[in-house]
Amino acid sequence: MKRLYKLRKEKHMTQQQLADILNVSQQSIHKYENGICSPTIEGLCDMAEFFDTSIDYLIGATDIPYRYDQIPDGELRFSEKRLLTFYRSLSPIVQSLIQQVITEQEQKE
């Protein structure tokens, strides 16, 4: 579960913040990251969904950090839902700025 630590740090999260999101204790996150105990299958599923990765990547069975699954039309991943929720909380001016950045990026591609 060394990758759990890496993924958590990439998001600049504390163990407590991740624990709150996954509905476990901070001590559980500490134990997972240090190999003292392992999460349940449900816990692994929640972690993979939150970090938008695969369980195989979390447990070290693959070095490919992204999922292979297909997303049905109209469904959003957990990370996409979080972004949309955050975006909607922004002021119209900030939303407009984000839209401009996206448009400029699209034009570059």
Q: Give the pair of three-digit tokens for residue 31.
A: 């134990």
pLDDT of residue 83: 87
Is the CB of residue 8 less than 8 Å from the CB of residue 15?
A: yes
Contact assessment for residue 47 and residue 39, using Cβ atoms and an 8 Å cutoff: yes
Q: What pLDDT shows up at residue 84? A: 87
The pTM score is: 0.61
pLDDT, residue 78, reads 73
Question: In terms of residue numbers, what domain contains 98?
Answer: 78-108
pLDDT block averages, 10 residues each, the chain of length 109: 93 96 96 96 94 91 74 72 87 94 89
Cα separation of 109 and 107, whole Å?
Answer: 5
Looking at the structure of the chain, the number of domains it has is 2
Q: What is the pLDDT of residue 69?
A: 61
Position 81 scores a pLDDT of 80
CB within 8 Å of 56: residues ≥ 6 apart = 62, 64
Give the pLDDT of residue 75. 76
> Is residue 17 in a domain?
yes
In this structure, is residue 6 part of a structural domain?
A: yes
What pLDDT does 63 receive? 85
State how far the Cα of 96 lies from the Cα of 99, in Å rounded to an integer.
5
Q: Are 47 and 4 in contact (CB under 8 A)?
A: yes
What amino acid is encoded at 46 in this protein? D
Same domain, yes or no: 9 and 40: yes
